[in-house]
Structure 1
């Protein structure tokens, strides 16, 4: 990471409940750096709304933490809240179907797995809590991408080479966009061997109180388990669990 970025971010640690407002001189002294250097770093933080200047004169300046930190803190809080709310239902679903359960959210232009409940089967998946994945691979990420406006879908897909990591092929963008449209129409996403060979995933959307899709509830397992009547049961139970979590988040959509 750029050393200037690290130095700037470290300056935020000097603010506290006891010291919500600090002068340029105080920050420079605590950081052990010259005032011109401190001023340059603080100005960068100020331009990003991480700090705001409460007073400036020819001798010194005063700073407080900015609203950008409140915005980012709310995002983290929401993520932690959805994990807390979803986990009991995920555990119950895992007990019912004995497959791996994931909770997936959008993180900038990628998908991030923020919760996982394993099955008792001898199955190793290339997923873990905190892992990020392209939004075009796997049922959970694709479901999240499908619920974005078309313009944002196009913007995200233009940033990446649409490469398939399992079969090492190239993903056809036109076909992918058609699949995303089908996901919206059918209400769930389905994938076979996209992140791990011989595995299948199905995902259903989780909505919040504002009727927005905030996460995907994904079930993954050996493809041989996702067939016939068993597939239908997996779909029904996953959908019901996603709806139960959505209700706990305050969703009151047309089907509830």
Structure 2
């Protein structure tokens, strides 16, 4: 009876969804750093629609400024209107303004890059970055997405979920091997996250990228929930594991605590 009710509520919700709008948004989602340029045929294939439908949708998005036609090509790239929406979103996130001065001081004191990230499903999205002295290590820009399971920021954010919620989130999803230290099963991931919870931080040593180390801690708000992750990253030659934990971690935790307090978090 309960399943039937849930199904009925879902069906009722789907009745009010606009298929054309869904397709248009899926086109924007199809672009990525790996696929920055897409033609009508590519878009038709991504959406599993006819070329004529893909053409009309693309032309509409182009006229609205969300897609831009690449010169001397039949392909499209994302337009500035997409970037404009992103900036409007960030402008409305008080956490970025609150965190920025603390991140600047963190990078100044540790000489490494600092990042602020939030979780979006199984991905982490970086919403702020401050370059340190060793800035060449960070190719992470605002809006960059990484798989949560393979990054220090992601594991900190996933720590906000119960084991059951984690299992549901990753149901049917393959954890791909990125480096030899990447967790490959949901069991491995849960074990790492449980250890992270106990430690109060996540240390990633070549988990996502060879020769890259990162250290992440949680940021909480007045609900006591983890709402963001603050991390630092550097080449593994900049700090040893013990140096990261002894010299950088206290500074990182202090800055995260200050940001959390400003967001209304109380012990």
Question: Which sections of structure 2, spanning at least 5 residues, go unmatched?
Answer: 1-17, 26-88
The answer on 1:141 being equivalent to 2:154 is yes
Matches within 5 A, 1:25-36: none
CA 1:112 to 1:121, structure 2 compared with 1: closer, same or farther past 3 Å? Answer: same
Contact 1:94 1:117 in 2 (8 A): yes
Does structure 1 retain, via aligned residues, the 8 Å contact 2:102–2:259? Answer: yes
C-alpha displacement at 1:141, in angstroms?
0.6
Shift of 1:126: 4.2
Q: What is the CA-CA distance between 1:3 and the residue it aligns to?
A: 7.9
Cα gap change, 1:6/1:87 in structure 2, threshold over 3 Å: closer, same or farther?
same
Instruction: Verify the 8 A CA contact 1:206 1:215 in the aligned structure 2.
Output: yes
CA distance in 2, matches of 1:248, 1:92: 16
Residue pairs, 1:45-124, within 5 angstroms: 76=89, 80-121=93-134, 123-124=136-137
Deviations 1:77-126 (A, max 9, x none): 79621111000000000000011101011123321111111112252334
| Aligned counterpart in structure 2 of residue 125 of structure 1, from 119, 138, 143 | 138
Which shifted more, 114-123 or 210-219? 114-123
What is the rounded CA distance, in whole Å, between the counterparts of 2:183 and 2:195 in structure 1?
20
1:132 positional shift: 1.4
Match of 1:13 in 2: none
Partner of 1:243: 257
Count how many residue pairs are aligned between Structure 1 and Structure 2.
187
Q: Aligned residue for 2:174? A: 161
TM-aligned CA distance change 1:145 to 1:241, over 3 Å: same
- From 182, 186, 189, the equivalent of 1:176 is 189
Aligned residue for 1:38?
none
List, as ranges, runs of 4+ consecutive aligned residues in structure 1 with deviation greater than 4 Å: 6-9, 76-79, 167-170
> Could you tell me whether the CA contact under 8 Å between 1:147 and 1:184 is conserved in 2?
no
What is the CA deviation profile of residues 123-152 of structure 1, one whole-angstrom value per residue up to 9, with x for unaligned ones? 233422101111101111111112212222
Alpha carbons 1:125, 1:196 under 8 Å: kept: no
Q: TM-score, normalised by structure 2?
A: 0.63
Secondary structure of 2:93's aligned partner: helix
SS of the residue aligned with 1:111? strand
Question: Which residues in structure 2 correspond to 1:221-232 (within 5 Å)?
Answer: 221-224=234-237, 225-232=239-246
Distance change (3 Å), C-alpha of 1:172 and 1:94: same
Give the TM-score taking structure 1 as reference length: 0.66
1:244 match: secondary structure:
helix
